[in-house]
Amino acid sequence: MARSWGQLLGDSDAPAETAEAQRGFFGRLRESLGKSRRALTEQLQVAAFDPADDASWERLEEALIYADVGVRATAELIRRLEARQDLSELNGALAEEIAALFGDAPTLNVRHEPAVILVVGVNGTGKTTTIGKLANKLREHGRSVTLGAADTFRAAAEEQLDIWAQRSGARFVGGERGGDPAAVAYDAVGSDTDVVIVDTAGRLHTQSNLMDELSKVRRVIAGRREGAPHEVLLVIDATTGQNGLQQARIFGDAVGVTGVALTKLDGSAKGGIAVAIAYELGLPVKLVGVGEGLEDLRPFDPDDFARALVAA
Amino acid sequence: MFDSLADKLQGALGDLRKKGKLDEESISRAMREIRLALLEADVNFTVVRDFVGRVREKALGEEILKSLTPGQQVVKVVHEELTALMGEGESGLAFGKFTVILLAGLQGSGKTTTAAKLALQLRKRHRKPGLIAADLQRPAAIDQLEQLGKQIQIPVFRTDTKDAVEATRSGLERARAEGLDTVIVDTAGRLQIDEELMQELERVRDVAGPHNILLVLDAMTGQEAVNVAQAFDERIAFDGVILTKLDGDTRGGAALSVKAVTGKPIKFASTGEKLDALEVFHPDRMASRILGMGDVLTLIERAEAAVAEDEQAEMEKRLAAGQFTFDDFLKAYKMLRRMGPLQGLLKMIPGLKDQLGDVDVDERQLGRVEAIVLSMTPQERRSPIVIDGKRRIRIANGSGATVEQVNQLLEARRQMEKMMKQMGRGKMPALPNQQAQQSSLSAARKSGVKRKKKKKAGRK
Ligand SMILES: Nc1nc2c(ncn2[C@@H]2O[C@H](COP(=O)(O)OP(=O)(O)OP(=O)(O)O)[C@@H](O)[C@H]2O)c(=O)[nH]1
Ligand SMILES: [Mg+2]
Confidence band for B30, pLDDT divided at 50, 70 and 90 = confident
Confidence band for A310, pLDDT divided at 50, 70 and 90 = confident
B242 and B192 share one domain: yes
Q: Is the pLDDT of residue A269 over 80?
A: yes
Of B269, B292, B315, the residue at which a domain comes to its end is B292
Dist. CA A194–CA A117, nearest whole Å: 11
Ligand nearest to the CA of A149: 2
Long-range contacts of B143-147 (CB under 8 A, 24+ apart): B143/A155, B143/A156, B143/A159, B143/A160, B144/A154, B144/A155, B144/A156, B144/A157, B144/A160, B144/B112, B145/A155, B145/B112, B145/B115, B145/B116, B145/B186, B146/A156, B147/A155, B147/A156, B147/A177
**Chain A residues closer than 8 Å to B144 by CB:** 154-157, 160
**Chain B residues closer than 8 Å to A66 by CB:** 45, 223
Of the candidates B223, B442, B457, which has its C-beta nearest A252's C-beta?
Answer: B457
The pLDDT value recorded for residue B431 is 34
Chain B residues 126-165 within an 8 A CB cutoff of chain A: 137-141, 143-148, 151
Nearest residue of B to residue A36 by CA position? B193
B203 and B240 share one domain: yes
Selected residue with higher pLDDT from B364 and A120: A120
Neighbours of A102 (CB within 10 A): 23
Binary contact (B220, A82; C-beta < 8 A):
no
B395 and B430 share one domain: yes
Dist. CA A195–CA B370, nearest whole Å: 39
Confidence band for B211, pLDDT divided at 50, 70 and 90 = very high
Q: Spell out the residues 6+ positions from residue B254 whose beta carbon is closer than 8 angstroms to its own.
A: A241, B42, B43, B217, B218, B219, B220, B221, B222, B225, B243
* pLDDT tens string B232-253: 999 999 999 999 998 877 778 8
- Mean pLDDT along residues A91-118: 92
Say if B459 falls within a structural domain: no
Confidence band for A18, pLDDT divided at 50, 70 and 90 = low
Say if B91 falls within a structural domain: no
**C-alpha B326 to ligand 2 mean position (Å):** 41
Say if B458 falls within a structural domain: no
B236 and B305 share one domain: no
B119 and B153 share one domain: yes
Say if B460 falls within a structural domain: no
- Which residue from A124, A210, A177, A180 is spatially nearest to B143, judged by alpha carbons? A177
Say if B39 falls within a structural domain: yes
Q: Is the pLDDT of residue A275 over 50?
A: yes
The pLDDT value recorded for residue B65 is 57
Compute the radius of gyration of chain A from its Cα atoms. 20
Dist. CA B185–CA A167, nearest whole Å: 28
Dist. CA A51–CA B303, nearest whole Å: 55
The pLDDT value recorded for residue B21 is 61
Sign for the pseudo-dihedral over CA of B342, B348, B353, B355:
negative
User: Where residue B322 sits, what CATH number does that domain have?
Assistant: 1.10.260.30
Task: Name the residue with the closest Cα to ligand 1, atom 13.
Answer: A126
B103 and B38 share one domain: no
**Chain A residues closer than 8 Å to B141 by CB:** 156, 160
- Highest mean pLDDT (candidates B2-16, B240-254, B277-291): B240-254
Binary contact (A248, B140; C-beta < 8 A):
no
B311 and B384 share one domain: yes
Dist. CA A168–CA A134, nearest whole Å: 9
- A141-150, A204-213, A237-246, B280-289: the lowest-pLDDT one: B280-289
Query: What domains can you pick out in chain A, each with its CATH number?
Result: 32-102 (1.20.120), 115-301 (3.40.50.300)
* pLDDT tens string B101-112: 999 999 999 999
Binary contact (A78, B247; C-beta < 8 A):
no
The pLDDT value recorded for residue A34 is 43
**C-alpha A4 to ligand 2 mean position (Å):** 26
B312 and B419 share one domain: yes
Ligand nearest to the CA of B141: 1
What residues are in contact with ligand 1 under a 6 Å CB criterion? Answer: A 121, 123-129, 151, 154, 157, 201-202, 235, 263-264, 266, 289-292, 296; B 107-108, 138, 189, 191
Of B20, B54, B86, the residue at which a domain comes to its end is B86
Chain B residues 43-82 within an 8 A CB cutoff of chain A: 45
Interface check B301 vs A, CB under 8 A: no
Provide the strand spans (E) within B72-188: 99-104, 129-134, 156-157, 182-187
What ipTM score was computed for the predicted complex, to two decimals?
Answer: 0.91
Say if B406 falls within a structural domain: yes
**C-alpha A296 to ligand 1 mean position (Å):** 12
- Mean pLDDT along residues B280-290: 72
What is chain B's mean pLDDT, rounded?
77
Selected residue with higher pLDDT from A54 and A192: A192
Say what the pTM is.
Answer: 0.78
Distance to chain B for A243, nearest Cα, Å: 5
Per-residue DSSP letter, B230: H
Dist. CA B16–CA B278, nearest whole Å: 38
Ligand nearest to the CA of A154: 1
Binary contact (A124, B218; C-beta < 8 A):
yes
User: Where residue B64 sits, what CATH number does that domain have?
Assistant: 1.20.120.140
Nearest residue of A to residue B458 by CA position? A256
The pLDDT value recorded for residue B72 is 60
Count of domains for chain B:
3
Compute the radius of gyration of chain B from its Cα atoms. 26
Phi, psi of B103 (to 5 degrees): -105, 135
Task: Name the residue with the closest Cα to ligand 1, atom 30.
Answer: A264
B244 and B312 share one domain: no
Binary contact (B222, A267; C-beta < 8 A):
no
Sign for the pseudo-dihedral over CA of A33, A38, A41, A43:
negative
The pLDDT value recorded for residue B62 is 56
- Mean pLDDT along residues B79-101: 83
* pLDDT tens string B170-179: 999 999 999 9
Burial profile B298-313: b = 16 or more Cβ within 10 angstroms, e = fewer:
bbeebeeebbeeeeee
Binary contact (A75, B451; C-beta < 8 A):
yes
- A99-113, B212-226, B408-422: the lowest-pLDDT one: B408-422
* pLDDT tens string B182-203: 999 999 999 999 999 999 999 9
Of B292, B326, B352, the residue at which a domain comes to its end is B292
**C-alpha A141 to ligand 2 mean position (Å):** 24
Of the candidates A58, A70, A206, which has its C-beta nearest B248's C-beta?
Answer: A206
**Chain A residues closer than 8 Å to B344 by CB:** 206
- Test mutation, A123, A158, A166, chain B, max B CBs within 10 A: A123
Identify whether B350 is preceded by a cis peptide bond (ω within 30 of 0). no
The pLDDT value recorded for residue A90 is 86
Q: Is the pLDDT of residue A268 over 60?
A: yes
Alpha helices in A152-193 (DSSP H): 157-168, 181-189
Q: Are A152 and A182 in contact (CB under 8 A)?
A: no
What is chain A's mean pLDDT, rounded?
89
Q: Is the pLDDT of residue B345 over 70?
A: no
Confidence band for B455, pLDDT divided at 50, 70 and 90 = very low
B69 and B113 share one domain: no
B349 and B280 share one domain: no
Binary contact (A163, B140; C-beta < 8 A):
yes
* pLDDT tens string B131-162: 999 999 999 999 999 999 999 999 999 998 99
Domain residue limits at B32: 3-86
Confidence band for B95, pLDDT divided at 50, 70 and 90 = very high
Q: Is the pLDDT of residue B449 over 50?
A: no
Task: Name the residue with the closest Cα to ligand 1, atom 10.
Answer: B107
- Test mutation, A56, A74, A166, A208, chain B, max B CBs within 10 A: A208
The pLDDT value recorded for residue B439 is 31
Q: Is the pLDDT of residue B2 over 80?
A: no
Confidence band for B443, pLDDT divided at 50, 70 and 90 = very low
Confidence band for B457, pLDDT divided at 50, 70 and 90 = very low
**C-alpha A240 to ligand 1 mean position (Å):** 13
Chain B residues 202-221 within an 8 A CB cutoff of chain A: 218, 220-221
Instruction: Give the atom of ligand 1 at the shortest distance from the alpha carbon of A289.
Output: 31
Say if B308 falls within a structural domain: yes
Say if B134 falls within a structural domain: yes
Instruction: Give the atom of ligand 1 at the shortest distance from the alpha carbon of A202.
Output: 25
B141 and B249 share one domain: yes
